[in-house]
Amino acid sequence: MPELPEVETTLRGIEPWLLGQQIEAVEVRQPKLRWPVAAGVQQLVGQTIRRLSRRAKYILVETDNGTAIWHLGMSGSLRLLADDEPPGKHDHIDWCLANGKILRYHDPRRFGALLWQPAGATENSHLDHLGPEPLSAAFDGAYLYQRSRKKSQAIKQFIMDGKVVVGVGNIYANESLFMAGIRPTTAAGKISKPRYEKLVACIRLVLERAIAQGGTTLKDFVGGDGQPGYFAQELLVYGRAGESCVHCSATLKEIRQGQRATVYCPACQR
């Protein structure tokens, strides 16, 4: 599933081609995605794209009429193609641009979404409940420490909760906790403020490295240029159960937390 680094990579890949461009047509071949494609997206036709941004795993495309909101779901991708490129079986939506390019949404599992927020709307049920961005100043050790008090929830689930902080998906939670030396099963409320400060620094470092490598491709993800992400080559624990720890040579263990794989070093992480 595309997480924050993959979505940020997609945004950076498409932004130079979309910013300031007029949308000449919107073609929806498959409206049945995670939620039905919003009828309001047809208001994009004739509009100029004023701004692109990311909030959590959503890409926001702003025009004078309103904001289109993309979510890539489990297997979705946005790619820029020539306007004569024929659509494939899983190519569900096209935006035809005045520069002769098409922004094409591809999604085999159809679990992504294209939402619409009219200009002037102040509430959004998909975005309003979200926690701070992990690369922002609002996310720091003091914040995590205060949010975690009296929490018996395991630290891995705690930092993957989008109401606490957005964008720390399973792969990046595994890697950050390993780097910080914190065992994933430790109760969030039992972790000290200094350790939270280290964890925040590690989360930022892991995400920044992943963005620099174009995200992590394990199966489906490609960026706006159709290229895979290369951060998978730098993973220290995720996907390496049974192998040796890069720090101490102990055997990495795998458990399941919330139906997701957790890999950790029993010697380095406590």
239 residue type, one letter: G
**Is residue 194 annotated as part of the catalytic site, yes or no?**
no
In sequence order, which residues have a C-beta less than 8 Å from that of residue 62 and are 6 or more positions away? 49, 50, 51, 52, 53
Catalytic member of 54, 57, 104, 195: 57
Dihedral in degrees, nearest 10, Cα atoms 84, 89, 90, 93: 40
Is 89 annotated to bind ligand?
Answer: no
Catalytic member of 147, 183, 209, 260: 260
Give the 3-state DSSP-derived string for 236-257, with helices as H, strands as E and coil as C: CCCCCCCCECCCCCCECEEEEE
Is 90 annotated to bind ligand?
Answer: yes
Is 151 annotated to bind ligand?
Answer: yes
- The Cβ of residue 13 has, within 10 Å, a number of other Cβ atoms equal to 19
**Torsion-angle region of 147 (φ positive above 0: left; ψ -120 to 50: alpha; else: beta):** alpha
**Is residue 3 annotated as part of the catalytic site, yes or no?**
yes
**Torsion-angle region of 173 (φ positive above 0: left; ψ -120 to 50: alpha; else: beta):** alpha
**Is residue 2 annotated as part of the catalytic site, yes or no?**
yes
Coil vs helix vs strand at 35: coil
Q: What angle do CA 21, 18, 123 make, to 5 degrees?
A: 100
Name the binding residues for DNA: 90, 109, 151
Residues with active-site annotation: 2-3, 57, 260
Name the binding residues: 90, 109, 151
